Structure 1
Amino acid sequence: MSEPLLQIRGLTKIFETSGGPVHALEDISFDIPRGSITGLVGESGSGKTTLGRSLLRLVEPTRGQTIFDGTDLNTLGAGQMRQMRRRMQIIFQDPMSSLNPRLRIADLIGEGLKAFGICNRRERRDRAAALLEEVGLSGDHLNRFPHEFSGGQRQRIGIARALALEPEFIVADESVSALDVSIQAQVLNLLLDLREKRNLTMLFIAHDLSVVEYLCDQIAVLYLGRLMEIGPSRAVYQKAMHPYTRALNSAIPLPDPRAKRSRELLQGDIPSPLNPPSGCVFRTRCKFADADCADGLPHPVAVAEGHVSYCKKIEVLNDN
């Protein structure tokens, strides 16, 4: 892979609540190579959205570094960060709730351009029409309102709006999870085309590992705010080296209905982030866990080039 556009080092987010501190993210470190798509997967409550928004400082990290093209974003003042956001955008999960229903499509797509004073109204309208064409819609739709479109079309409008400022990096937060399967495939292919055309770098957040494997160059697996495994998509998909990743993999339906695969069912629910388990936070649901897993945090173990697992039982996993 190419050199990293983003370097994430020790990123931590702690929310202070009436019940005590919630460690939403704890010591997250990995790189996102320039021009690549990195998938971020995990169950609900694992911290995926918090991580994506922390990278853009829509959520302020508690500590750690987010180094974007050589600049540590967490050291920037509000004005500097505002300028940096021209290079970083987000596509939200629910396109309807992220689009102002009172604005026409031309104004929605041109919001960022207007905010930064980049061009006049006529130029914004022309650029919005071109962006609609680029994402597979018609420039004739500029005068319509969001409710006049289907869910897939609204997501394309959200993508067009994210592209308006010519960003280098995009966080796609569960951007296809609310769509029908056939529409999902169309949007995924659109994202791949845009990556190639614009040399975009993306963090694609999802709970479906099969979608992420299709789209992404590397996959990061998150559980209870901690990184479990990260590596090239094919390696993580075919040779997972963390029990949690293997459980996620085993839940993916096989395309051949006659094919059989053993399921690795997870026991119980994710523990409360108010009181996470000691040591490895996954140990309470792991069939390989023993007393050693409760003592001290697991260190990253290099499985292969670019493939890292955070598991003390990696020798056992190698034999299974």
Structure 2
Amino acid sequence: MTQDVLLSVQGLTKQFPTRNGVVRAVDGVSFDVKRGTIVGLVGESGSGKTTAGRCTLRLIEPNEGRIVFDGVDLRELSEREMRAYRSRLQIIFQDPYSSLNPRLRVDQIIGEALEIHRPVRGAAKRDRIAELLERVGLNPDAARRYPHEFSGGQRQRIGIARALAVEPDFIVADEPVSALDVSVQAQVLNLIQDLQESFGLTMLFIAHDLSVVEYLCDEVVVMYLGRVMERGPSREIYAMPRHPYTQALLSAAPLPDPKASRQRVVLKGDIPSPMNPPSGCVFRTRCRYAVAACAEVVPPLEHIGSDHHVACIRQSDPEVISQGLTL
């Protein structure tokens, strides 16, 4: 598998002005996605992960930063130039109920992308739609039906087929199973993994469930209140999380072995408002290891070995490290 970087996000920042101030949704986020891999972008609701994902596709225009896709900075492209890249960059939305146009049949939903981005018409288009539906586990007869005639899991399969229709190089999967029943989630995750391996897709998989990310992703980026707290290879982060926030998230993730257990780390309070984030380390108000310096210093994302990076002034503290080892 080729391991060159397909997407490099550098210093990504997005702020939303409001009547009462500015919401700092994404604040200096950086990460790479290697070709043919899946990177998990995880964090609680309000961490900015969905905004970051949509900024990478320029569905939302960032305020600052670079989005280098296959050697080209997407932020330097005009709207017309960006259209040429749309077929290479696709998204699977979180809500399978609101992301499909209820007035269109399935063949129209999937065929729309083919008509816009590919010169496919007539029988060739019908064959392509039938092929896509079969590939995502649906009967080709589904092409003549409307979204309301399907279950949530089936609708998400239609959304996946739509994203695959134009043979993209990169897909953002924005919490694609969070709106589904638990019994259906595993089926859709297995489908995504199978498609990624079959087509060599490169993906940014957004989730709040770290057990899902462990199952799918090669690397993990942990976000909190718009900033990256930790990032690195999945096996390293799951074996030894070094940021207190990552430790807390992992402690809440279910274990596959019903006899196994881990020490639960309960975060105190709620995530602060992105309009008024804490000074210094944004996680300090909920961190059990916080010291006075945490309110003064914005911790940089430091390299601690391999491709593992942590933003914590106490990341080398034996007390913090030992907690990672006991999870």
Residue 38 (structure 1) shift: 0.4
Does 2:183 match 1:182? Answer: yes
CA distance in 2, matches of 1:226, 1:295: 16
Unaligned stretches of 5+ in structure 2?
none
Residue 116 (structure 1) shift: 3.0
Residue of structure 2 equivalent to 1:236:
237
CA distance in 1, matches of 2:146, 2:299: 51
Deviations 1:265-310 (A, max 9, x none): 1010111111101111000000111111111210122222011111
Q: TM-score, normalised by structure 2?
A: 0.95
Residue 203 (structure 1) shift: 0.4
Residue 181 (structure 1) shift: 2.2
Residue of structure 2 equivalent to 1:123:
124
Residue 258 (structure 1) shift: 4.0
CA distance in 2, matches of 1:275, 1:73: 30
CA distance in 2, matches of 1:260, 1:198: 37
CA distance in 2, matches of 1:130, 1:13: 39
Does 2:157 match 1:156? Answer: yes
Q: Is the 8 A contact 2:104 2:146 kept in 1?
A: yes
Q: Is the 8 A contact 2:219 2:233 kept in 1?
A: yes
Residue of structure 1 equivalent to 2:321:
318
Residue of structure 1 equivalent to 2:294:
293
Q: Which amino acid aligns with 1:130?
A: E
Residue of structure 2 equivalent to 1:132:
133
Residue of structure 2 equivalent to 1:69:
70
CA distance in 2, matches of 1:137, 1:117: 23
Residue of structure 1 equivalent to 2:255:
254
Structural mapping, 1:153-232, within 5 Å = 153-232=154-233
Residue 139 (structure 1) shift: 1.1
Residue 189 (structure 1) shift: 1.2
CA distance in 2, matches of 1:37, 1:89: 14
Residue 238 (structure 1) shift: 1.8
Q: Which amino acid aligns with 1:37?
A: I
Residue of structure 2 equivalent to 1:105:
106
Residue of structure 1 equivalent to 2:94:
93
Deviations 1:180-232 (A, max 9, x none): 22321111111111111111100000110000000000010000000000011
Q: Pick closer, same or farther for the CA change 1:262–1:111 going to 2, 3 Å.
A: same
Q: Pick closer, same or farther for the CA change 1:35–1:117 going to 2, 3 Å.
A: closer
Residue 22 (structure 1) shift: 1.1
Q: How many correspondences in the alignment?
A: 320
Q: Which amino acid aligns with 1:134?
A: R
Q: State the identity as a percent.
A: 61
Deviations 1:211-265 (A, max 9, x none): 0000000010000000000011111112101000000000012334443321111
Residue of structure 2 equivalent to 1:21:
22
Q: Which amino acid aligns with 1:173?
A: D
Q: Pick closer, same or farther for the CA change 1:213–1:117 going to 2, 3 Å.
A: closer
CA distance in 1, matches of 2:260, 2:199: 39
Equivalent position SS for 1:260: coil
Residue 117 (structure 1) shift: 5.2
Deviations 1:146-186 (A, max 9, x none): 11111111111100000011100000001011112232111
Q: Is the 8 A contact 2:228 2:301 kept in 1?
A: no
Equivalent position SS for 1:259: coil
Q: Which amino acid aligns with 1:236?
A: I
CA distance in 2, matches of 1:45, 1:206: 12
Equivalent position SS for 1:314: coil
Q: Which amino acid aligns with 2:19?
A: S
CA distance in 2, matches of 1:168, 1:249: 30
Q: Which amino acid aligns with 2:287?
A: C
Moved more, 117-126 or 154-163: 117-126
Q: Which amino acid aligns with 1:218?
A: E
Instruction: Tell me the C-alpha RMSD between the 2 structures.
Output: 1.2
Equivalent position SS for 1:315: coil
Residue of structure 1 equivalent to 2:303:
302
CA distance in 2, matches of 1:203, 1:115: 24
Q: Which amino acid aligns with 2:312?
A: C
CA distance in 2, matches of 1:274, 1:123: 51
Moved more, 31-40 or 115-124: 115-124
CA distance in 1, matches of 2:255, 2:120: 50
Residue 319 (structure 1) shift: 3.9
Unaligned stretches of 5+ in structure 1?
none
Residue 142 (structure 1) shift: 1.1
CA distance in 2, matches of 1:174, 1:131: 21
Q: Which amino acid aligns with 2:222?
A: V
